[in-house]
Amino acid sequence: MNAFEPITLNNGVRLKNRLVMAPMTTYSGNPDGTVSDEEIAYYKERSGGVSAVITAVAYVSEHGKGFLGQFSAHEDRYIDSLRRLAKTIQSGGAKAILQIFHAGRQSPANEVPEVVGATDITSDGQPTPRALTTEEVQQIVRDFHEATRRAIEAGFDGVEIHGANTYLLQQFFSGFTNKRTDVYGEDRMKFILEVVQAVQQAKEKYANDAFIVGYRFSPEEPEEDGITMDQTLELVDVLADQPLNYLHVSQMQFDSEPRRYSGKATTRVEALQETIAGRLPLIAVGSIYSKKDLENASHIGADLLAIGRELLIEPHWVEKIQRGEQVETALDTKNPPVLPTTMFEIIKSRPGWVPMK
């Protein structure tokens, strides 16, 4: 794969290269759930080189918030705020893709009316969630539909359904967190597929084929009853036949190896591509900092690569790599690039998340 060659998605949309900005939490939205001026500046600085920017995730339901300082897509009053974000990204030349989710049991108790989840299984340090009723699950499906409509009205080029990183969609798929006895327990893919269908229905009603819909997933979980690589491949095999435009694997290292897996592939990307078999493009991500990293990642078999933490360090990394210039691979905390204040403070408080000088 040549990272700087264009790619045309199955809906006819042409991306100018194979590099996208990975979704990263900013913790810097306004208290009322709107996008802040600092976030606008942050995205403006990073929208020039990549072909698409996948935003920090917006929540689709009032009780779906996952972070302090998170912007929202759960009511129509946020459309103007979202429109401002979409226009900012597009003004740099990138496609604007709004990531959407429900945090489920990962919601901070002080940020939501009530913490809810697939079942009442709690996570470390979190309050015990209340298990959603069947009717409430169906309402959240409708919430995804409405959030997609708002993204379309705001002028976004697409949405990414966030089914990764242990949030609600993953909680329903995982045998560790889904002990339900209703239809959503009998078929742990059901909620995911209903959300995909609801998003697609919103696209068909309010947009056209050029509107991009992607799905992000995590490959495995460490718990005994958690998701295995084999189970993820079963899900991906089904997703690859859905009306989606790409799949996006969430992992910390682009060439990470599968753990609980019955096949022979040596990397998760290889295993995923064997299953996808060209039906949809796959975005891979994880620890791409230098030109050498990019060269190595370009040979793992993915169709596109998402750049995350390196764009925090070097906002114009794509342009510099393409021009053959040197890039910083560690964040200069004394002379930082354009970053929202709270995001910058959180980066500094979490050693090991972003390489720092």
- What are the angstrom distances between the C-alpha of 52 and each of 21, 317, 341? 6, 14, 24
Any catalytic annotation for residue 289? Answer: no
- What are the angstrom distances between the C-alpha of 317 and each of 21, 79, 92, 308, 312? 11, 31, 14, 11, 9
Q: Which of 27, 42, 59, 167 is catalytic?
A: 167
Helix ranges, 176-244 (H):
183-186, 190-206, 229-239
Q: At what angle do helices 229-239 and 268-276 cross, to 10 degrees?
A: 40
Nearest alpha-carbon partner for 39 in 51, 50, 27: 27
Element (H, E) at 54: strand 52-54
- Taking the C-alpha atoms of residue 114 and residue 61, their distance in angstroms, rounded to an integer, is 11
Q: Which residues of 112-132 are buried (b: 16+ CB within 10 A; e: fewer)?
A: beebbbbbebebeeeeebebb
Which residues sit opposite 285 in a β-bridge?
306
> Catalytic residues, which ones?
167
